[in-house]
Amino acid sequence: MLACADTLRSFFTCDTGGSLMTVTHLYAYECQAQRAETRKRLATSAAWQEYVDASRCFVAAQESSLLLEAPDCHAAAGAAPVAQYHSPLKAAEPAVYELRTYQLILGYNPVPQLRAALVEGLPSKVAADKEGALALMCYSDVGLLNTFVEVWRYPSAAACIAAREAARRAPEWRAAIAKVAPMVTSFSTQFLQPASFSPWQ
């Protein structure tokens, strides 16, 4: 993985909430040109080819999507852009990342409407949530469209559940979710654990 260390943000395994024998990689690119250049460089990297050859026998299926950051949501949550995000706690401390995935109805408006609702509600959620840190809010540009993704970091799964319960008591957050709910066809959550070499810990 050192061959793409400049763009790798996270390498997670699934703890619960989905297919357990899966890994999730997140990479950050400034633009499509940087992604193309990175892939071109990896194609000639002996270290990357060695990694691909060694891991191929373990892969039953693979999916890839391109996601665009929602900077208005990051700002509303008081969170840094994903390119500047760093794990807020010491890596030696236990941590869990919650991956929240919304699938929205078809059309051009659902994603902008969801973002607008979240911008209204996020300050109250963050105020109620004493231990979570927003790492990423984004939406799909290539792959399954009208997918919206959140990634939050917590010191433990119990802290995540406690934060969720606290947020449900925040009126502005409840109002935001009430606006979002009619547009959502499915919603899933996963607890993910970072690998030892993941930049996000």
Across residues 35-59, what is the average pLDDT?
91
Asked whether residue 89 falls in the same domain as residue 182, the answer is yes
Domain count, the chain: 2
* Domain range enclosing 94: 66-194
Asked whether residue 47 falls in the same domain as residue 106, the answer is no
Distance between CA atoms of residues 46 and 8, nearest Å: 18
The token duo for 136 is 């990423």
- What is the pTM for the complete model shown? 0.91
Write the pLDDT tens digit of every residue in 160-200. Answer: 999 999 999 999 999 999 999 999 999 999 999 999 889 99
Asked whether residue 106 falls in the same domain as residue 51, the answer is no
